[in-house]
Structure 1
Amino acid sequence: MGVTAKDIAAVTPATRDRYVDLLRVASLGTVIAGHWLMAAVSRDGIGNLLAVVPPLQVLTWALQVMPVFFFVGGFSHALSYRSLARRTDGGPLYAAFLRARLQRLLRPTLVFVAVWTATALAAQLFGGGGGRLSGAAFRLVTQPLWFIGIYLAMVALTPPLLRLHERCGWAAFAGLAAAAAAVDLLRFAGGVPYAEFLNFAFVWLAVHQLGFLRADGRIRRPGALAAAGLAAAVALVAYGPYPLSMVGMPGEKVSNMAPPTLALLAHGIWLVGAVELLRAPAGAWLARPRVWRRVVAANGVAMTAFLWHLTAMLAVYAAQLGLGIALPEPAGAAWWAQVPVRFLTAAALTCVLVGLFRRFEAPAASRPGRPGRPGRPTSAGSASRPSSPPPGSGARAALGTVLCLLGVLGLSSTGLGGLLEGHSATLIAFPVTAPAAIGMAIGGWLLVERSGTSRRVRLGG
């Protein structure tokens, strides 16, 4: 019998920072709700509600919470890497860290890609993929994968940047923020081609670095941080070349998201300060057993829900069309009236999809009958001992991570339409096709999975 969320919640150590788990769930949940709200689907295709009603773009200052997820990632990666370093008895630590962190991320992602690739191929082979709506769906469904590609980079760069943080503290964050500002100067003032793509690294790494500072208890004045970030974001949007929306808009010349800008970094800083201000009251709420059980349960399926939430939304619109129910004009009175029904139906379908695919998110070591399963206590002498990879596997795992990163980002850019026609998109400065992107992702995953587990790891104590 499998271990339940109740079992895991019951053995949660008192030292665990439960608020971080809540932030992870809440940030992904907000992104999902934002995507459902922004999708303006009509018979002519899939648009963006924020383009239909531009004043609503101010909502992105609350709904664009992906910086919070990267902030939480920095915190978790710092703790995970340090814990693994304490337990590793020699051997390449880097490969062990990459493999441990990526397993739970890559498995459900590749299953998602496999299912949608098979669907896209079937639609193309049997003539069902040429419609305007279906074509838009095959492009849309992979777009959120950009987040997973960037997150892979955060994992890969954690060890060197954590060492930099331990030496320099806030100065390491300041250096990354300064680099992001310099990139925008080269982009907007200097007109340097392709310079803007460097901010895919600098902006998100700076937010990630704030997670390291959080892990060491060095964010002591969150109110000042929130105020400074908000003031900077407002000033940059009001007086600089930055748009109001903190998410990408169709047809815009400048996006705060792709590539990310200094304005998005300022937005992330104020969000980090704001969520830190809520830390104490949330802690008392999370101490309630029922609340904590729900957070644990949601954390166990958060990535699966994120991957499949657009599938659920598209299924709602497809059912509407299949039943002959007219799609109302986006942002009209009838459209807004249908929003609660669409949300509830999409949420129900997402739960069904999570039930089907959640098994791929569970780490191998956490499945029934495997050593280390939560709820199966063992003594210190008989506890399961993880392994660390043999020499040389660090480079292999790093190469695999880079291939996965490029593959996932490439697939996010190309979508899954036109698989048999060789449809391509530009990834930074290079053309990439969906089959090539899928090949890179699978090849990278195999390299990470086969990075080896020959050296034993001793338990601390």
Structure 2
Amino acid sequence: MREVIQRIDAATPHHRDRALDALRALAILGVVLGHWLVTALVVDSGTVHAASPLQRTPELAPVSWAFQTLAVFFLVGGQVAAKSYASARARGTTYGRWLGTRTLRLFRPVAALLVVWAVTAGTMLASGVGYDNLHALLKLVLSPLWFLLVFAALTALTPLVSRLHPLWPLVVVIHVDIIRLGLDGPARLGWINVAAGWLVPYCLGTAWSRGDLRSRTTGWTLLIGGATATALLVLLAGYPAAMVGVPGAGISNLDPPTLAAVTFGLAQCGAALLLLGPLRRVLVRSAAWAAVALVNLSAMTIFLWHQTAMMAVTATGLLTGRTLPGLHTRPDGTQWIIARLLWLPVFAVALTVCWAAFRTYEQRRQGRTTVVREGRPSRTGEAHRA
């Protein structure tokens, strides 16, 4: 292990900002842990359906504040994409080639997931599994893909939005919410916020790539301003306190994104900027950096397969013929949360199996992902390039 850690450290270019990779890793792991904590598969009279502990215990809403970290991912994504595009232009790389390279890294792992689940769904149908049960499972697997579609679209628009001020999409979100929620406008209008809402942190990232947002004052302004605005929206304007979707709720902060979700994301972006200094100091240590680098190498694999891992453990538990607490029982109290926490290491083991099977679809072929070659760092540290 010590040798692997040393190789990863040696293969990392000196100019690489390790804190960016740490923020991305924290964002991905936050989403994974959040889904595992607030999503349950419950079997009632032979029918499977998803449930959430937030339905019956809304006081657990602060859990969603800690693990709904998508805004940080879009912040880092905007920063990295803008810098990457500027560097590509300087080298004379065409827009099409630049975009093709970046989207291939996203969608090759997605293709593997879709193929596996297409075969699985066909097998389940042939074996007599009902459409309702299959729909409940596929929804858990496929619903996170909306995030990748939005991220890919914003990446494609990077040359256009790289100089767009974040206030413009924020103004769009405000007006959309006023019309659809305040004036009883058409609900479908909210889907404008799917682009506008996530464009806010993405634009903050592109501004960051130009050298803005570097002062701690900016970080504190975003954190305090975003947190204050979110609190006011929840307490006075009737927005849900949970920053994730809750089955059966009248309004979801994520489906589509609301103004509260966007202001909450601004607070998260401010916290992320303030964490840069401490993260850089911690990641000087080779072991800490190796852990971050390994997560980033398989970030999409982890994100895409974490729900499958949870469902695999749940289905395996059914083979015991018992209703296991925290796995098959209704998420209706503190006892369920405690039991679910005990299942998290088992989910992690199942996810490790998925990672071992499918990580090659995300990582480049072995000849180009070797961390060191003959005792020397690889050509350009490709194994750790975002």
TM superposition score category, shorter chain reference: 0.7 to 0.9
Aligned residue identity for 2:357: L
C-alpha displacement of 1:325:
2.5
Structure 2 counterparts to residues 337-352 of structure 1, below 5 A: 337-352=338-353
CA spacing shift, 1:333–1:60, aligned 2, 3 Å: closer
C-alpha displacement of 1:278:
1.6
Aligned residue identity for 2:51: G
> Which residue in the other structure is 2:306 paired with?
309
Q: Is the 8 A contact 2:65 2:242 kept in 1?
A: yes
Q: Of 163, 175, 180, which aligns to 2:168?
A: 175
Aligned residue identity for 1:368: Q
CA spacing shift, 1:304–1:214, aligned 2, 3 Å: same
2:33 maps to 1:29? no
Structure 2 counterparts to residues 65-76 of structure 1, below 5 A: 65-76=69-80
Unpaired segments ≥5 residues, structure 2:
381-386
2:189 maps to 1:192? no
Structure 2 counterparts to residues 37-436 of structure 1, below 5 A: 37-44=37-44, 45-88=49-92, 93-127=94-128, 129-130=129-130, 133-162=133-162, 164-165=163-164, 172-193=165-186, 194-219=188-213, 220=215, 221=217, 222-328=219-325, 329=329, 330-332=331-333, 335-363=336-364, 367-370=365-368, 375=372
Aligned residue identity for 2:366: P
> SS of the counterpart of 1:81?
helix
C-alpha distance in 1 between matches for 2:193 and 2:5 = 38
C-alpha displacement of 1:326:
1.4
Deviations 1:261-307 (A, max 9, x none): 11111000000111211211111100111111111111111110111
C-alpha displacement of 1:355:
0.5
C-alpha distance in 2 between matches for 1:153 and 1:190 = 30
> SS of the counterpart of 1:49?
coil
Q: Give structure 1 regions of 4+ aligned residues with deviation exceeding 4 angstroms.
A: 3-6, 131-135
C-alpha distance in 2 between matches for 1:229 and 1:69 = 17
C-alpha distance in 2 between matches for 1:54 and 1:131 = 31
C-alpha displacement of 1:40:
2.7
Aligned residue identity for 2:42: S
> SS of the counterpart of 2:55?
helix
C-alpha distance in 2 between matches for 1:9 and 1:151 = 29
Return the TM-score normalized by structure 1. Answer: 0.74
C-alpha distance in 2 between matches for 1:132 and 1:175 = 42
CA spacing shift, 1:323–1:251, aligned 2, 3 Å: same
C-alpha displacement of 1:339:
2.2
Q: Is the 8 A contact 1:42 1:327 kept in 2?
A: no
C-alpha distance in 2 between matches for 1:83 and 1:333 = 51
Kindly, what percent of the aligned residue pairs are identical? 36
Deviations 1:354-395 (A, max 9, x none): 0000000013xxx2335x966459xxxxx89xxxxxxxxxxx
CA spacing shift, 1:111–1:256, aligned 2, 3 Å: same
Deviations 1:106-143 (A, max 9, x none): 0000110110111001111221x218655422222211
Aligned residue identity for 2:55: A
C-alpha distance in 1 between matches for 2:334 and 2:15 = 50
C-alpha distance in 2 between matches for 1:178 and 1:88 = 36
C-alpha distance in 2 between matches for 1:191 and 1:339 = 39
CA spacing shift, 1:135–1:203, aligned 2, 3 Å: closer
C-alpha displacement of 1:4:
6.5
C-alpha distance in 1 between matches for 2:234 and 2:199 = 22
> SS of the counterpart of 1:323?
coil
Return the TM-score normalized by structure 2. Answer: 0.88
Q: Is the 8 A contact 2:193 2:256 kept in 1?
A: yes
Q: Is the 8 A contact 2:56 2:333 kept in 1?
A: no
> Which residue in the other structure is 1:19 paired with?
19
C-alpha displacement of 1:338:
2.7
CA spacing shift, 1:123–1:233, aligned 2, 3 Å: same
C-alpha distance in 1 between matches for 2:65 and 2:333 = 23
C-alpha displacement of 1:76:
0.8
Unpaired segments ≥5 residues, structure 1:
166-171, 378-382, 385-461
Q: Is the 8 A contact 1:46 1:133 kept in 2?
A: no
Aligned residues: 362
Q: Is the 8 A contact 1:41 1:327 kept in 2?
A: no
> SS of the counterpart of 1:211?
helix
